[in-house]
Chain A
């Protein structure tokens, strides 16, 4: 066992896969000698060298085009887009090229690639370096979308993403990079498309993703003190979506609260609400409630950003009001 930060877990997860399979390569801006702007790739350059861990120019289309061309010809690239907001300058490669080409070619091509990206707010970076874009990725047919919430899941889901034959968008919550946990030694491999029940309660089910997971857990503790006993589900994977686990846990309590960092409209919780309404409507004891960032660009000032992103206090207040209302 070792204490590992979320950012260290990224490097460990990548290194585990690069040692196992020499077709795994890493590319991105500043990921080599500099170890990544978020220090998520520290040590990789030293261990695997400049051919397998490669710095690129600020050319997001070139980075993802390179990953796509490499994947279609037998390699397993892990590409980094530094901030997920930057997907906007290379979204064509993701959406029109990577996501569609297997289908368009009637299965002639596969794209075993991973695109990692720092996602979401909490670091006071302002609107162009803080958005939580998981909903952008989720709505694109042909992309798998993974959002780990802790260091252990980072390693296991990174391994699963690298080994998966399809393109995986791997979103790293920037607010969690410094978080720590005990992680076992040895190889860790997880499974895509599996949600995790982190806490079991009788009254309400909080379904959270990424940086919202620790907040939902904290909120559940406070709510328990006030007599509201919550289940907390970590979604982990938006595509494939583990609806089996989520529907089961929502049915059990009869109440669903989603905790989402993405802006309100078309957030992943909207889709989940639709599935729950269609499939287990009669198991519900009250309205589905979505707790999200409002539909605004994120402000830079800490006071404002803290108001925008769902907080433990807002989760507690919203759940309390709805359960008692």
Chain B
């Protein structure tokens, strides 16, 4: 499916964003192996089209709510690579000066209202931001991304009902990558499509989109966001996709059948889009130029992040409270 609403330049930009997300995540992985990135991390390799398609359909003042698999959603809203990579590396030039880490990327100035690492918790919080937009009359929309695993926790159901009864301007996006951590989602879920099959319980339309087709994602995002902005209430979209790697840094993903992985690698969103753009009139030179310029950006960000100082004790006790401090007694 090819978007009817985007011209070639806009599509080249969608290509650029996806390539940027891909190359960034690959670099993040390499930096793990070199021990520059500590702790854990959850990569979006293979899932880039969802982040890119939605971000392109959002207004700059719209809100993104992401999960611990949130590098892609943060970058797609226009946050530069350097502070994101520096955050992963625990440097003061990180997005949160190293205090949040990979799983909590936040950039309020870009509308990225947090990445949440407790499954499902951010769905009700996205409802709150949407409620606020509704009350303030700003026409802003909250877009909330979550994985298939989130659909079986209580907060998901509370949030869906809440959004429906208050007709909140929120779009719920389930990135269904078929695996709830190490377990096949259909084995632990009562319905085949964990989000779409639950939509009717909350009076919502069941929407499934090919999450590896950025044009299709963009189109469905435009419709859902317009509906939310017009005061017609929430939508829930299930985007089918596949993560190329394991759940997290420590997981090689060996529980997945080789044939399944091979099948989904054939549906890799980036080569597919590359081919489509060539068919629609882009030149190979244009696409290579994009890939090279992204590669240079990743190199630059890597060097800038590595050059960032490690945080000192001055940051440790800061910003528990709005006064900038952490005092709990006088």
> Which residues of A are in contact with B by a Cβ distance under 8 Å?
25, 51, 56-57, 59, 61-62, 64-75, 77, 92-93, 96-97, 101-110, 112, 141-142, 165-166, 193, 239-244, 275
Which residues does chain A contribute within 8 Å of B133, judged by CB atoms? 73
Of A51, A65, A77, A239, most buried by chain B (CB within 10 Å of CB) is: A65
Smallest beta-carbon distance B44→chain A, Å: 20
Which residues does chain B contribute within 8 Å of A77, judged by CB atoms? 128
* Bound: A77/B330 CA distance, A: 27
Q: Besides the contacts A105-B96, A105-B106, what 14 more A-B pairs have beta carbons closer than 8 Å?
A: A62-B158, A62-B159, A65-B122, A65-B124, A66-B127, A69-B126, A74-B136, A77-B128, A104-B96, A105-B99, A108-B107, A142-B320, A240-B330, A241-B329
Q: Is A106 in contact with B161, judged by CB distance below 8 angstroms?
A: no
Residue interface mask B40-80, A partner, CB < 8 A = 1? 00000000000000000000000100000000000000000
Q: Is A96 in contact with B121, judged by CB distance below 8 angstroms?
A: yes
* Bound: A57/B158 CA distance, A: 9
Q: Is A51 in contact with B135, judged by CB distance below 8 angstroms?
A: yes
Residue interface mask B296-317, A partner, CB < 8 A = 1? 0000000000000000000100
Q: Is B132 in contact with A73, judged by CB distance below 8 angstroms?
A: yes
Name 24 interchain pairs, CB-CB below 8 A, sorted by A: A57-B158, A65-B121, A65-B158, A67-B128, A69-B125, A69-B127, A69-B142, A74-B132, A96-B121, A102-B322, A105-B106, A106-B97, A106-B99, A107-B324, A108-B106, A108-B107, A108-B108, A109-B114, A142-B321, A193-B330, A240-B327, A240-B330, A241-B328, A243-B330
Q: Is A97 in contact with B161, judged by CB distance below 8 angstroms?
A: no
* Bound: A105/B101 CA distance, A: 9
Which single residue of chain B is at the shortest CB-CB distance from A71? B128
> Which residues of B are in contact with A by a Cβ distance under 8 Å?
63, 95-97, 99-100, 104, 106-108, 113-114, 116, 118, 121-133, 135-136, 142, 154-155, 158-159, 161-162, 165, 315, 318-324, 326-330
Q: Is A59 in contact with B161, judged by CB distance below 8 angstroms?
A: yes
Which residues does chain B contribute within 8 Å of A101, judged by CB atoms? 106, 114
Which residues does chain B contribute within 8 Å of A74, judged by CB atoms? 132, 136
Which residues does chain A contribute within 8 Å of B318, judged by CB atoms? 106-107
Q: Is A240 in contact with B328, judged by CB distance below 8 angstroms?
A: yes
Of A51, A93, A108, most buried by chain B (CB within 10 Å of CB) is: A108
Q: Shortest 7 CB-CB distances between A and B: which pairs?
A: A69-B128, A65-B124, A165-B322, A107-B319, A69-B129, A59-B158, A66-B128
Which residues does chain A contribute within 8 Å of B322, judged by CB atoms? 102, 110, 112, 165-166
Name the contact of A68 in the complex, choosing from B100, B128, B155, B320 (C-beta under 8 A): B128
Which residues does chain B contribute within 8 Å of A106, judged by CB atoms? 95-97, 99-100, 315, 318-319
Which residues does chain B contribute within 8 Å of A104, judged by CB atoms? 96, 99-100, 104, 106
Name the contact of A243 in the complex, choosing from B99, B116, B326, B329 (C-beta under 8 A): B329
* Bound: A73/B127 CA distance, A: 12
Which residues does chain B contribute within 8 Å of A66, judged by CB atoms? 124-125, 127-128, 131, 162
Smallest beta-carbon distance A41→chain B, Å: 18
* Bound: A272/B113 CA distance, A: 37
Smallest beta-carbon distance A316→chain B, Å: 30
* Bound: A112/B321 CA distance, A: 10
Q: Is B113 in contact with A72, judged by CB distance below 8 angstroms?
A: yes
Q: Is B104 in contact with A70, judged by CB distance below 8 angstroms?
A: no
Which residues does chain B contribute within 8 Å of A108, judged by CB atoms? 96, 106-108
* Bound: A74/B106 CA distance, A: 17
* Bound: A51/B123 CA distance, A: 21
Q: Is B162 in contact with A62, judged by CB distance below 8 angstroms?
A: yes
* Bound: A265/B300 CA distance, A: 54
* Bound: A61/B330 CA distance, A: 33
Smallest beta-carbon distance B316→chain A, Å: 10
Of B114, B118, B136, B161, most buried by chain A (CB within 10 Å of CB) is: B114
Which residues does chain B contribute within 8 Å of A193, judged by CB atoms? 330
Smallest beta-carbon distance B173→chain A, Å: 16
Which residues does chain A contribute within 8 Å of B97, judged by CB atoms? 106
Which single residue of chain B is at the shortest CB-CB distance from A101? B114
Which residues does chain A contribute within 8 Å of B113, judged by CB atoms? 69, 72-73, 109
* Bound: A68/B326 CA distance, A: 20
Q: Is A239 in contact with B328, judged by CB distance below 8 angstroms?
A: yes
* Bound: A61/B157 CA distance, A: 10
Q: Is A141 in contact with B108, judged by CB distance below 8 angstroms?
A: no
Name the contact of B127 in the complex, choosing from A65, A92, A107, A240 (C-beta under 8 A): A65
Known: A59-B158, A97-B116, A102-B319. A244 touches B127 (CB 8 A): no
Which residues does chain A contribute within 8 Å of B315, judged by CB atoms? 106
Name the contact of A65 in the complex, choosing from B123, B135, B161 (C-beta under 8 A): B123
Smallest beta-carbon distance A89→chain B, Å: 8
Q: Is B330 in contact with A242, judged by CB distance below 8 angstroms?
A: yes
Q: Is B154 in contact with A61, judged by CB distance below 8 angstroms?
A: yes
Which residues does chain A contribute within 8 Å of B128, judged by CB atoms? 65-73, 77
Q: Is A65 in contact with B155, judged by CB distance below 8 angstroms?
A: yes
